[in-house]
Structure 1
Amino acid sequence: MTGPHTPAAMSGFAAPFANPAGSPIRELFPYLSQPGMISLAGGYPSPSLFDAEGLAQAAGRAMTGDAQALQYGATEGLPVLRTALAALMEARGVQASGEQMMVTTGSQQAFDLLVRVLIEPGDTVLVEVPAYPATLQALRLAQARIVPVPMDEYGLQTDALADLLHQLPATQRPKLLYTVPNFSNPRGTLLAAQRREALVQLACAHGFWVVEDDPYGELRFDTADGDAAAMPPTLRAVGDLLAASGTNPVVYLSSLSKTVAPALRIGWMLADSSLLRRCAIAKQTVDLCTSPLAQMVAARYLESGRYPATVQRARIEYQRRMQALVQGIATQLDGRVQCAAPAGGMFVWATFTPSIDPQALFDAAVSQQVLYVPGKAFYPDNAQLNTMRLSFAAPEVPQIEQAVQRLAAAVALAMR
């Protein structure tokens, strides 16, 4: 029996948050505080490549004039930034105007808004696997039915997707498909040009949206003859061609987090107007608008003309770090860990021999003070797989070389 001052039991949590699982990558953060730990885990850009001088100048220009940057802004984003982003999209081969896009607080928010607008509990969502863990987390919290689509060294397997779509009953018709076609997270693959066309054709035929998440597309590496790797057209550009008289099924997401600075939290979405309007309404209930001050800094930076050189520096340095990681694995792991060199991005996807227990390897790696993301984090069923994601972006080459030595010691400890 409760007395007059006994508090009542609090109401329960909403079903998706009754027993939620956190981000498997964020769960690794406590290890980062251990002294001497070298992390190949987080997909963080290198602080040494941030154009701090250029951003400081852009911030100064953002604060001049009528203090517009300190006021609330339109939910869709400041016109000056949307115009600058449209020009950036033109350089990527995508026809766009500022009115066709919305600025978001990172591209992760853009995907979350799409999930809010499109997905109801039980809806089918197709996801290439292995997949970015935050995508899987957002879909789980939305109570979506996640259907994996396999990948290989050329990206999402469109033949397998076609077979899957044929087999799915009408009641499980997918609402959307999520893919990172350019230097995917975590596999680092580049989706082949013919598969891009096939994917958009399947979306048009079966009536689902394709979410093209493209944070790494500009981080392409030079080929053996010293030229920048040729990039196939974006899925959005393919959609413009194939759906000229109808709705482009491709929703394009990107951000400045990997090329300028994550702290800006500037992402954007390019989509059909009916979808974009609904996402803007959803964003109004989330944060009203992305920080106008951050938007103005980003706009002034893009206007400064410094962006291409910043990206080029990142391409050169990330290629150097990637080569140090891949070559180190090839020479020091005795074939027990294998990987392929990606043509761009920030990640190497590695497979290790079945004679190594995945949990034992992770524990041994922590004991040797090197950190990576276990492959199970990138699959919807969290299966124990003999894979790992290694990021070469943040550590310097000497750290990468030492990390490989530590990983070799961990492999020796974890052998069954």
Structure 2
Amino acid sequence: MDKPYEPECVFSERANQLTSSAIREILKVTERPEVISFAGGLPAPAGFPVEKMRETFDKVLAENGKVALQYGPTEGYKPLREWVAQDLNKAGANLTLDNILIVSGSQQALDLLGKILIDKGSKVLVEDPTYLGALQSFSQYQPAYATVATDEGGLIPEAITPELAAGARFLYALPNFQNPTGRTLDRARREALVQKAASLKFPIIEDDPYGELRYAGEPQPSLLTLGAEVGANVIRLGTFSKVLAPGLRLGFIAAHAKIIHKLVQAKQATDLHTPTLTQMAVYEAVKDGFLAEHLPHVREIYRKQGRCMLESLEREFPAGVTWTKPEGGMFLWVTVPAHIDTQKLLTEAVEQNVAFVPGGPFFAGKPQHNTMRLSFATVPEEKIRTGIAILGKLLKQKV
């Protein structure tokens, strides 16, 4: 048999350093219908406003189709940018149109920020652990990561010493229902963090995809708002993926106009602009207050399924295993005794048709292999109970 054709191609140094997402590799396993998957970070489809989006796409195409199907400005659809600025200003920000860039999902925001802020060897501060997708995006530009310690209250501002912050291009942080841990920074830590950023002169990238998914506790002010009060440079990322639907691939960056200008130049070299039709349809969906009607339904889905998982963990997991208790979002973080490697545990769990994400890949520094991330967002309560019981039985054999 002839050998398959192999094209001659010399990949760049950057391409040769690319790796597949650990989560995406696990998701290949979870495509099997019999697998109970706590691995994905996917929003609950039951929360997608399908009929509302059908109406808005129809309206845009019927009333303004030629504009919707045409190229648009790199900065984004002006009415949507204005809506984003006004929405953030309600929470105490002070933004104008020039402070907003619409992007193709917040993952593109991470990539564009990496392009304009990171050189090879640049110091980048990240929480320990942090969002795997951010590490994957930033790592293309070969930074030198420096990790900031965390505890049950999230990032510890006091851990950011002058020595640690020296020369840092930015700190990447998720203050609300952090991925992977589900932890939230309280107001005192937020204020201390922006004070650190102002005094030590490093920017903060505030990634907040889950902030609207709070179903317990008290809302906290954004780092963007608090930072403006003390002169900290905060770049805020938001997305419509968790409040409407991820298939829209629509997010935004709010930042100083100087930063937005450089991001626009980087985006022009990437995809010219985010799809006009999608931006116009989303604007039609949100402009008259639809999110205020829609989000309580979404929050209730996550509240019920999160409560079910917490109750199942209490019932099924052995002593010596601990977990976070999130006030919102889609994830919680489990820590097992130090001698248990959750990567090996995953292999055993998949054999019994249960999947989760081992914690190791979420660490930019030394990985903690006795951790795992569980997502309850897309799993019905009956399957949550079944899947946690299987994991609990496996853990009881090891503690």
TM-score per shorter chain, which class? over 0.9
Q: Which residue of 2 aligns with 1:123?
A: 122
Instruction: Determine whether 1:266 maps to 2:250.
Output: yes
Q: Which residue of 1 aligns with 2:223?
A: 235
Distance 1:288 1:357 in 2: 45
| 1:335 CA displacement | 2.2
Distance 2:172 2:310 in 1: 28
What is the DSSP-based 3-state SS (H/G/I as helix, E as strand, rest coil) of the residue aligned with 1:41? coil
> Any gaps of 5 or more consecutive residues in structure 1?
1-6, 223-228
Whether the 8 Å contact between 1:102 and 1:276 is mirrored in structure 2 is: yes
What is the DSSP-based 3-state SS (H/G/I as helix, E as strand, rest coil) of the residue aligned with 1:252? strand
Q: Which residue of 2 aligns with 1:251?
A: 235
Q: Which residue of 2 aligns with 1:221?
A: 215
Whether the 8 Å contact between 1:139 and 1:146 is mirrored in structure 2 is: no
Whether the 8 Å contact between 1:350 and 1:390 is mirrored in structure 2 is: yes
Q: Which residue of 1 aligns with 2:337?
A: 353
Whether the 8 Å contact between 1:329 and 1:337 is mirrored in structure 2 is: no
Distance 1:265 1:237 in 2: 26
Distance 2:368 2:324 in 1: 21
| 1:253 CA displacement | 0.3
What is the DSSP-based 3-state SS (H/G/I as helix, E as strand, rest coil) of the residue aligned with 2:218? coil
What is the DSSP-based 3-state SS (H/G/I as helix, E as strand, rest coil) of the residue aligned with 1:201? helix
What is the DSSP-based 3-state SS (H/G/I as helix, E as strand, rest coil) of the residue aligned with 1:48? helix
Instruction: Determine whether 1:195 maps to 2:195.
Output: no
1:212-233 Cα distance to aligned partner (Å, 9 max, x none) = 00011111113xxxxxx32221
- After superposition, residues 12-411 of structure 1 pair within 5 angstroms as 12-67=10-65, 68-162=67-161, 165-166=162-163, 173-222=167-216, 229-243=217-231, 248-381=232-365, 383-411=367-395
| 1:351 CA displacement | 0.8
| 1:14 CA displacement | 1.6
Distance 2:361 2:235 in 1: 25
| 1:306 CA displacement | 1.9
Distance 2:74 2:244 in 1: 22
1:309-328 Cα distance to aligned partner (Å, 9 max, x none) = 22111112211111110110
| 1:412 CA displacement | 4.2
Distance 2:92 2:375 in 1: 28
Distance 1:406 1:359 in 2: 16
What is the DSSP-based 3-state SS (H/G/I as helix, E as strand, rest coil) of the residue aligned with 2:301? helix
1:377-416 Cα distance to aligned partner (Å, 9 max, x none) = 1012463521100011111211211211221233245x27
CA separation of 1:256 and 1:8: change in aligned 2, threshold 3 A: closer
| 1:51 CA displacement | 1.1
Distance 1:31 1:185 in 2: 21
What is the DSSP-based 3-state SS (H/G/I as helix, E as strand, rest coil) of the residue aligned with 1:341? coil
| 1:355 CA displacement | 4.2
Distance 2:82 2:181 in 1: 33
Distance 2:129 2:164 in 1: 21
Distance 2:394 2:366 in 1: 22
1:253-282 Cα distance to aligned partner (Å, 9 max, x none) = 010101110011110000011111000000
Distance 1:210 1:258 in 2: 22
Larger deviation, residues 352-361 vs 113-122: 352-361
Larger deviation, residues 116-125 vs 195-204: 195-204
Distance 1:232 1:295 in 2: 28
1:61-88 Cα distance to aligned partner (Å, 9 max, x none) = 2213232111111100001111222232
Whether the 8 Å contact between 2:106 and 2:237 is mirrored in structure 1 is: yes
| 1:304 CA displacement | 4.0
Whether the 8 Å contact between 1:186 and 1:349 is mirrored in structure 2 is: yes
What is the DSSP-based 3-state SS (H/G/I as helix, E as strand, rest coil) of the residue aligned with 1:35? coil
Whether the 8 Å contact between 1:153 and 1:189 is mirrored in structure 2 is: yes
What is the DSSP-based 3-state SS (H/G/I as helix, E as strand, rest coil) of the residue aligned with 1:60? helix
What is the DSSP-based 3-state SS (H/G/I as helix, E as strand, rest coil) of the residue aligned with 1:65? helix
TM-score (norm 1): 0.90
Amino acid at match of 2:81: R
What is the DSSP-based 3-state SS (H/G/I as helix, E as strand, rest coil) of the residue aligned with 1:268? strand
> Any gaps of 5 or more consecutive residues in structure 2?
none
Whether the 8 Å contact between 2:183 and 2:324 is mirrored in structure 1 is: no
Distance 2:62 2:85 in 1: 24
| 1:234 CA displacement | 0.5
Percent identical among aligned pairs is 35
Amino acid at match of 1:15: E
What is the DSSP-based 3-state SS (H/G/I as helix, E as strand, rest coil) of the residue aligned with 2:374? strand
Distance 2:370 2:292 in 1: 38
Runs of 4+ in 1 over 6 A off after TM superposition: none
| 1:92 CA displacement | 3.6
What is the DSSP-based 3-state SS (H/G/I as helix, E as strand, rest coil) of the residue aligned with 1:205? helix
